[in-house]
Amino acid sequence: MSTSDAQQPGPDEGEPLSSVETSRRARRHRAAIDRPAAEKFREQLLDLITEHERQVVAERALAGDPNPTDADPLEYVYEIAEHYAQSEGRPGYLAQLADELTLDDVRALRLAGEAAKAATPLVVLAESSRGKEVPQIAGEVGLTESRVYAILREQRAADPDGLNRWDAFWTIERRDDGEWHELAAQSSKRKDRPDVLARYLLAREQHEQPAGVQLRVRVWKFGTSDTAPPLAEVTTGQQ
């Protein structure tokens, strides 16, 4: 056996390579040698960028950033909705979800769905008040135009002059090391009851925080948070 044969053993215990396999390996070897320097540099640069991004994500996670990758907190929800909307592949996708989701995941998604359903009339009314046309609202929210018109009629009939709106102020807090730390504070004119608002805000915030984090939402009438107890207060596990 020649020296070149010994340096290129076959796949089965050193058997000689066929002429076809020898030619194939030679072409791969030449391709690797002849690869342009610019291509090699581009791959090395991409590797460096990827490693830098991993380090930044790790540092932000260690610093307590709840979203170190700046990912859309609702990205997974959008993915589920997109797949579920494709009715022809729905049975297979449901089987996939059954493998992916835990009971806690299902509970959180169910609560979020209930919160979204409860908030839909208010969102529709708000978008209409901002000048968005009914066909656009219907297309974006996934309802028929007739249903959107009905929602607007119901909302306006319940409060024709907008007199039932109230100035709400709320805080969202996360418990770390035995203490509550404020994540957000906001005020706006609302029509939903304080307890409904608190549950909705808590369900929404849970999607933006890591699993297992303890959260609290408290709601006041604007201007009374320093002097009066909250009108509603809810913490994780109490929805």
pLDDT at 198 over 70: yes
Confidence class for position 170, pLDDT limits 50, 70, 90: very high
Summarised one tens digit per residue, pLDDT across range 95-112 is 999 999 999 989 988 988
Distance CA 129, CA 191 (A): 14
Residue 146: what pLDDT? Answer: 94
Question: Can you read off the two tokens belonging to residue 35?
Answer: 């690869």
Residue 4: what pLDDT? Answer: 46
Domain ranges of the chain: 74-161, 166-235
pTM above 0.75, yes or no: no
Q: Mean pLDDT for the chain? A: 80
* More reliable by pLDDT, 78 or 9: 78
Residue 8: what pLDDT? Answer: 46
pLDDT at 155 over 50: yes
Residue 235: what pLDDT? Answer: 93
pLDDT at 6 over 50: no
Residue 32: what pLDDT? Answer: 59
Mean pLDDT calculated for residue range 177-198 = 88
Among 21-35, 139-153, 203-217, name the most confident range: 139-153
Q: What's the Cα-to-Cα distance from 196 to each of 20, 91, 106, 203, rounded to whole Å?
A: 73, 34, 21, 11
Please name the residues in contact with 124: beta carbons below 8 A apart, sequence gap of 6 or more: 137, 141, 148, 151, 152, 155
Summarised one tens digit per residue, pLDDT across range 63-89 is 776 666 666 667 888 888 888 888 888
